[in-house]
Amino acid sequence: MSGRRLEGRVALVTGAASGIGAACARRFAEEGARVAGIDLAPAPGDGDWAAAVKAAPDSLFEQADVCDEAAVNRIADATRDALGSIDVLVNAAGVPGGGAAHQIALEDWDRTIAVNLRGTLLPSRAVLPGMLEQRSGSIIHIASVEGIEGFEGGSAYNASKGAVVLLTRNMAIDYGRRGIRVNAICPGFIDTPMLRGLFGMEGLSDVAERIREAHQLGRFGRAEEIANAALFLASDESSFVTGVALPVDGGYTAGHRFGVASMMGLD
């Protein structure tokens, strides 16, 4: 198949076993990329990662912790050795974490910051030397709407994703003149295993419904919708886009509804 947007490129995706990471791997493979995946969980036998492997049979998967610098560096080196380069990085690995600042256990705070922030930095550090040498590359961090506005009880998660947004902007400044673009996607609430696990906790069903209604499209997002945005940022179609924190959130950050639209017959 010709004319695919990532034909001949190599993408490294963290958090690739499920959710947004797996959807990105599958979408990139459909568009011609060879894909390497990292996840603390094993690669599933079905679902989006399996679809990515079917679309790109020479794809790789390594089970590793994105907080482990040696493991991340080893996987980046192995990807370059096997596939020739790394042209695109998607940092999709992440964990939830919250609680009021005076209540959250420090070990929970540290783990959330480590996975969501250190786990974004380490893969970036691992791929940047190669991208600097080839003077090209696209790095895509998966941040969150909670990285650009507050959310009650979201102390650690919000802090980690807000840091990812500013890291994105700094990296765009530092590496832009060397042909490397760095952008963040800020998803709204996406129907993934992580979200379903969170909303499955006792007492959160009503909260989940209110959060769903806070999206102006009236629904949660789908992982493939984030993958489509990542595809745009990975491809030459976004060649003049860098340093952006792009909300893909069904209108969650657009503003608020108070019933006026209903009075105008717009529901």
For the annotated catalytic residues, the residue numbers are 157
Distance CA 224, CA 152 (A): 27
Q: Looking at this protein, which amino acid is placed at residue 95?
A: V
Pairing of strands 245-248, 180-187: parallel
State both tokens at 34.
Answer: 């060879």
Question: 218 — phi, psi (to 5°)?
Answer: 75, 20
Distance CA 37, CA 199 (A): 27
| CA neighbor of 147 nearest in space, from 173, 166, 132, 127 | 166
Strand residues in the chain grouped as ranges (E): 10-14, 34-39, 60-63, 88-91, 137-142, 180-187, 245-248
